[in-house]
């Protein structure tokens, strides 16, 4: 392998993929010949779109065995999102994939999957695929890849260690999803008054958003971000970017004013800047964190009936100012905000832990594949 330069143990070998495998491309099927529902002999059509969407599946009834993928096979995208590794899936695969028919007497499947997913392997694949708008890995370039091969029992041991880390990451994913589901349900119950906290029974008041805060917009173009800027820069994306100058120094709620994420809600306290179609809400007379949770829960449905359609959907200032919020007394606002913030902090902690273990897996994968860490006695 190009990037693994550590001297390897004597019982390891360097092989090329031409030595250990053959590959074949999948089947290009016209849309008109794809079935929208399964039949007795039809198979799931494995495409990048289906794997990304996981909702709109298609099926193929005419195929030969060479383009059939079984659960113990390995597929890899050869064009577009080149290098994506797929396994544990069944169906007929698209022409964008290579099926890697590897020598199972020499290589453990899971070991091979982890090697192909290794950051340095991915970089080599992308380099060989070229720098055109649509990278394309050809057969010869794939076959020229090299792989360090320990004895089969050590391959299995390496794969088992990385699989253990993966299982822990899957458990974190499941826990994050569970916590997010709990937060969503709890938010609705508390913010709609279906559930009242003990000791609070006063009536809630309906107010206009524009009556409890000041609403302005940023003034910059979206492309004024810089990679290593000092301050946050909020556009109409889900993520924030960075910039070298700030225009706001406040505690604010920021709402995307147009685009695919119109109505998306951010919260920030400090110095920042904003795109000209991003709404900045500050100087609240009510508890800002409570308002943030209320907007996150209920603003989208209001926007869907009030947004202006076109090539780029957008909302106007009046849509936000006229949005009605149900407000409990301030002490109940604080109590509700604290409960939801506690759940948010748990989710953030879990996501940080997941990132930490993803980095551990990344480093461990490299060290195991390069024999920097040995898992069997020498």
Predicted confidence at residue 5, as pLDDT, reads 56
Burial state string for 20-29 with b = 16 or more CB within 10 A and e = fewer than 16: bbebebbbeb
**Integer angstrom CA distances of residue 107 from 15, 102, 233:** 11, 7, 48
Nearest to 69 by CA among 50, 104, 45, 48: 45
Per-residue pLDDT of the chain (378 residues; tens, 9 = 90+): 444 556 899 999 999 999 999 999 999 998 889 999 888 889 999 998 888 877 779 999 989 999 999 999 999 999 988 999 999 999 999 999 999 999 999 999 999 999 999 999 999 999 999 867 778 899 999 999 999 999 999 999 999 999 999 999 999 999 999 999 999 999 999 999 999 999 999 999 999 999 999 999 999 998 999 989 999 999 999 999 999 999 999 999 999 999 889 999 999 999 999 999 999 999 999 999 999 999 999 999 888 887 777 667 889 999 999 999 999 999 999 999 999 999 999 999 999 999 999 999 999 999 999 999 998 865
Distance, CA of 292 to CA of 296 (rounded, Å): 6
283: left (phi over 0), alpha (psi -120 to 50) or beta: left
Query: In order of start, what are the domains of the chain with their CATH numbers?
Result: 13-149 (3.90.220.20), 152-195+330-378 (1.10.287.1120), 205-327 (3.90.220.20)
Predicted confidence at residue 50, as pLDDT, reads 87
Predicted confidence at residue 312, as pLDDT, reads 79
Predicted confidence at residue 310, as pLDDT, reads 67
DSSP 75: E
Nearest to 99 by CA among 77, 127, 121: 77
pTM of the model: 0.84
Distance, CA of 78 to CA of 96 (rounded, Å): 6
* Contact partners, residue 255, CB within 8 Å, separation at least 6: 263, 264, 265, 266, 278, 279, 281, 295, 299, 320
- Phi/psi of residue 9, each to 5°? -60, 160
């Amino acid at each position: 392998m190009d990037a693994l330069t550590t001297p390897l143990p004597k019982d390891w070998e360097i092989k090329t993929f031409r030595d250990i495998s053959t590959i074949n491309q999948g089947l290009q099927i016209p849309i008109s010949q794809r079935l929208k529902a399964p039949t007795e002999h039809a198979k799931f059509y494995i495409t990048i779109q289906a794997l990304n969407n996981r909702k709109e599946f298609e099926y193929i009834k005419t195929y030969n065995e060479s383009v059939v993928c079984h659960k113990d096979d390995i597929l890899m995208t050869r064009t577009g999102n080149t290098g994506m590794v797929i396994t544990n899936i069944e169906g007929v695969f698209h022409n964008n994939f290579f099926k890697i028919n590897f020598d199972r007497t020499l290589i453990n499947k899971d070991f091979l999957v982890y090697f192909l997913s290794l950051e340095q392997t991915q970089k080599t694949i992308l380099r060989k695929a070229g720098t055109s708008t649509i990278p394309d890995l050809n057969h010869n370039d794939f076959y020229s890849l090299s792989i360090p091969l320990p004895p089969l029992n050590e391959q299995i041991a390496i794969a088992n260690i990385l699989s253990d880390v993966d299982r822990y990451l899957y458990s974190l994913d499941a826990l994050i999803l569970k916590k997010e589901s709990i937060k969503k349900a709890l938010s609705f119950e508390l913010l709609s008054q279906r559930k009242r906290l003990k000791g609070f029974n006063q009536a809630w008041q309906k107010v206009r958003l524009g009556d409890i805060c000041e609403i302005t917009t940023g003034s910059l173009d979206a492309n004024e971000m810089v990679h290593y800027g000092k301050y946050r820069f909020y556009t109409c994306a889900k993520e924030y970017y960075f910039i070298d100058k700030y225009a706001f120094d406040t505690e604010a709620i920021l709402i995307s004013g147009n685009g695919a994420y119109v109505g998306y809600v951010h919260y920030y306290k400090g110095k920042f800047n904003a795109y000209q179609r991003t709404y900045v809400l500050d100087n609240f007379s009510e508890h800002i964190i409570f308002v943030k949770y209320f907007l996150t829960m209920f603003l989208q449905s209001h926007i869907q009936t009030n947004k202006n359609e076109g090539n780029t959907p957008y909302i106007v200032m009046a849509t936000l100012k006229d949005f009605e919020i149900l407000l409990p007394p301030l002490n109940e606002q604080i109590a509700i905000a604290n409960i939801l913030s506690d759940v948010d902090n748990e989710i953030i902690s879990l996501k940080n832990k997941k990132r930490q273990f993803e980095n551990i897996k990344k480093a461990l994968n490299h060290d195991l594949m390069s024999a920097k860490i040995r898992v069997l006695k020498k």
